[in-house]
Amino acid sequence: MWDFILANFFWVFTGALAAAGLAWTFARDGVQSLNPNQAVLFVKQGGLFLDVRAVGEYAKGHIAQSKNLPADELQNRVSDLNKYKDKPLVLVCQNGGQSRQALKQLAGFSQARISAGGMGAWREAQLPESKRK
- Please tell me which residue, 89 or 26, carries the higher pLDDT value: 89
* Alpha carbon distance 7, 90 (integer Å): 44
Which residues neighbour 33 within 8 Å (Cβ) at sequence distance 6 or greater?
A: 26, 96, 113, 114, 115, 116
Residue 8 has pLDDT above 80, yes or no: no
Q: Give me the pLDDT at residue 15, please.
A: 62
Phi, psi of 89 (to 5 degrees): -135, 120
Cα-only R_g, the chain: 18
The alpha carbon dihedral of 82, 78, 57, 92 has a sign of negative
Q: What is the pTM of this model?
A: 0.77
- Round the average pLDDT of the chain to a whole number and report it: 86
Residue 13 — very low, low, confident or very high, per pLDDT cuts 50/70/90? low
Residue 37 has pLDDT above 50, yes or no: yes
Please give the average per-residue pLDDT across 84-88, as a whole number: 95
